[in-house]
Structure 1
Amino acid sequence: MPVIEGVVSDIPEPHLGPAKAAIEAVTDAVNKQDDARAWGQAVVQTCKTLRGAIGAGGVTLDEAPDALLAELEDLATKLSTFEEAQGKAKALVLGWVPTFIYIADFPELSGHQNLAEYVKRRDDNQPETEAEKNFARLAKVAGFDPKEINSLQSDHEKRQTLLSRASALITQEMRRLWKDRRLTVRFYADGPHLDTLVYDENADYPVEVNLDERSRGFRWFFSFYVTFSADTQGGAASNAVLLLDEPGLYLHARSQEDLLSHFRSDYKNQIVYTTHSPFMIPPDTIEIVRTVNISDKGTEVTKDPSGDARTLFPLQAALGYNLSQTLFVGTANLVVEGVTDFWILSSVNDYLRESGKAPLVEKMVLTPAGGAGKVSYMTSLLASQELDVIVLLDDDKAGHDQRDELVKSKILRETSLLFTSAAFATPPAEADIEDVIDPTVYAELVKRTFAQELKGKTLNLNAKIPRIVKRYEEAFQAVGINFFKSRPAREFMIQMGKDPSKVLTAPSIERFERLIEEVNARYEKHKAAGRKPFQ
């Protein structure tokens, strides 16, 4: 340190010796190969001694040597306190890391509890079992004190009042969350014993059943609600990230949707869960979904929809289900047999609306069942969701069989079903939706869509066959060609979008208006009668 040595030479005896020794000590400390902390501590201490020796000699360092020594001291101080600062930084970062709670199976929550044993174990400060911890959570959520309930064995009235209040609280929450059926939860105390009972109000013979005897799916849902409601409301999980492995595995599809809604509306926690169920995938926020691909290269988690068919199937199924629910299902539904009925009726309905004529009621959605044999199945699905359903059937044997099945099964009233023959002022013996179209127009549609197959062939239609599609099926079969009614139906829909006057004659418009008027009338009758026609 030549700059400082020049200053030290001006120090008079007897202070010169200690000053030179201090400079040598600083030089040795600087040149010493040691770990950063020890090096910094040694340099800080020797620099302090050097400043003391220079000050004792009555010499003041000029700006340049003072700045040099100060820079060395600053560096040494930072190195000597690095581990301490690192520890503080680590503690600070760890404080930012949230608590993670992992759940692979539903919590153990028993429907039977011995209050006397439970209270005694807690008073004796004995370690709690997992079941006892979950019972404490149940008591917290329901708002009762197990010790107080146990002490009131001789005061039945007060005891029952407290338990009735707790029962009402849990019942209210379960009815809000569990949409599968309307359930009532009741706490029943007998001496030191407390039972959690559940019964279904919608059952023909409602019987109280202990929680332990309910379905595994309900017990999972109930236990999850209780434990996590307790833990996230000021408990251990109040700010935790919840990691759930296949939640709702024991629930059916509708209850899984209820669980998903519960996650989104009742928890402030971040919830990360794995699933293979399309009903646990939120289609309206699909961007939060991540796919997990396992290959020879390892496990890859990505927000891009990549992976093999098995990985993507739940995602595809969720989107497909959501599309079908929004495209073909509404609060009011007109179920038709097939897609050709859908094409023809929807295009005519759009035309009537745009022309200022009376269309189907505004909120009614056309729902194709995929064939006459699937009408009852589709109708049952929609009616079970308490949606308004009107059914339009072909007036043929299959249509009448479907009508009889729906009425006999008490799925719909007979007034909620009608046949396409309602389009005619004088109903024919049989009729499909294609019969509502003018026969000459339909003939032109067939000619245009089967031009290549019919080249050089002549069709002979049997006028005695009442339904036009059947007439063409027989005529096509006679010349060795298969007839597909989807072709003229699709062409009809296309022409309706381009120039409706080419395919809609005045008589056919009148018939379609009559049919739609009857559908709307049946809908109003259905609404007036209520959604549950046989109760």
Structure 2
Amino acid sequence: MKLTRLELKNYRSFADAFLLVDPHATVLMGPNDSGKTWLLQALTVFGARQNFPNDAVRHVPPAEGPPGKMELRFEFSSFDDEEIAHIGRFGFELNPEDRLTFVRTGPRNGDKPELLLNGEVLRELLRPMQVRAAEADGAQHGAGEELEAATAQPEDTEVATGQAAEGEVATGQGAEAPGAAVPPSEPSPEPARVSDVEWAVFLSDALFPILPRIELLPDLKPLPFEVNLSQLAADEPKLETARRLLQLGGVEDLSVLIQDTPDRDELLEHASLEITKKLRQYWTQDTEIELMARPSGDKLRFHLLGRGYPAFTRPQWHSAAFLEYLGIMAALLLRLSGAPRTSILLLDEPGVRLHPRAQRDLVQILQGLSQHAQIIYTAHYPYLIDRNFPGQLRILEPKPGGTQINNKPYHATANLVAWEPIRTALGLTVGDSLLFDEHNVIVEGVTDQMLLCAISQELSQLGDPRALDLNFTAVLPAGGYSNEEALAERAIANELSVVAVFDGEKARKDAIDSYKRRLPDAPEPIWLRDFYNVKYDFCIEDMLHTQIFLDAVNNHYQTLSGTYAPIGADLLGKKKGKRRQSIVKLVEELLPKALAGDLESTAPAQEDSDHQANNANEPGSDQAEVAELDESNLELAKVEVVKEVIALLRERQIVTSKGELRREYERFANVSSVIRQRLEQ
């Protein structure tokens, strides 16, 4: 399951605010004392099922009236098969898209939250038999004896009304004597409520075991020069960084290092090589860095060799920032390889002393870890945010009435305006270098950026050489094709490589011609229209499979409207299997009727496993921003729909049953390959 939303009322500096949590990584930004650390504390206390301190309740001046009741709501969704099966043992059906909300009212009773399922009180949806059935099925309940005593029936209990007694005809109602008057039926009794004991069992055995583990990364101790092997094996807290590094190098059982044997020397040599390999991969400031762990009697010594040092040196000769990075790297990479099935990792301002290049290295580790666990961290520095994934950013804004959370701090207008809330939160000026990297790709809007980066990330994990290297490439939304030229001009003025990508609409031709005239030395801009032989105007979404995009649209709007009628591919007006218009334009035309439940046909398209129904030469579209729809002024929330698209893509196999890339990935790979070639010119 994933944490999806956190609501805060009268907690610390928050009067009434909510946080939308990204399924992978969420970055909290804001000025000092805006509440970022308090928000992490709320998650930590909830995860440990502890009580909050009394001063966690928001204090208000007497003039504002009495203080309100503190309430925190933690919403989870996206349940996997294992979690659904576990809950099913208790006779309770859970669906992947259900919303399970834990409500903490007041600072106390951390182990007894109220629970809501899709807005309804969960306890009222349960029946005692469900909890008892789980007990009979062999579930291990901490309150088992109490439950048995609370639910046992006395031996002389009469047969319940409505059951057939022994000797009666088994008709379901019992046999009546001939001619006997039929007594009036009694109203059905109210269903029994789950007792306090049963509810405690359900919490402890059904729900708490499947909750994600929530962990705040603790302060890290620097790597010492020399450690006692006995203390190292005994989990001495001050040696945590040394212990993690050795485990990262493959030494699982540290007690084997105590005995002076040839095997120990070989094990440490192998561990040193593995740690060095990781260091060189994730510390790009010095690709010649080397770490050596050498035994000396009952001691173990760590030595480092780096650029500018003629020989191995003690760790303390290196900067405190490097040693901090070493500890963070070891802690995060260990979690990357051994994280629980579901976990949430919290970090409070990681890497604050690091050089900007090292901060970027750290972001790449965090992004890698976020594919296996949810990451939530606070940041004050531009290089600790991933510009390629603006949907992960959240800005905390102190207000007179309490801290507010801006869950979408990027706009669909000119690029400088789009990043304005983020620059303000970081205290930066218009001339900052937040926007650019060594290599830069200028796209029209936020959804172009989201799709290109997400699919490049998937291709990179597959090892496809055509994927963009997001470690050194910034994909920047210009907020419209007319702004791409100005943004590229700024990058070139800073002697950075840049290539612009324009959507496949005919109206882009004049802008592309102007771009070439103004920037004759820049690489040739990319016009998506050159990649596909279609007659209609298209955008980046048309490069996706039709049904993927429709599923994303339907998923998004069905959660917003009870009258929404799903849009089927049969409504798209295809001729000879080909669309005659961009998928975005078609959906915009159909959306008002879909929201009103007034579509003539909603039959879903039949899609085979390898997208055979999708024409290979038919791609498509994306305008980055929210589009206005006809007279009803409805909006197609493209950013939210594209988030659904990315989630659907990640649920599918990238490679078909024939061992080929799925068409949408092949299309994006072809575009990113050309981008890479032109950036290297």
Q: Give TM-score, length-normalised by structure 1.
A: 0.46
Q: Give TM-score, length-normalised by structure 2.
A: 0.37
Which has the larger Rg? 1
Q: Whose relative contact order is higher, 1 or 2, with alpha carbons under 8 Å and at least 6 apart?
A: 2
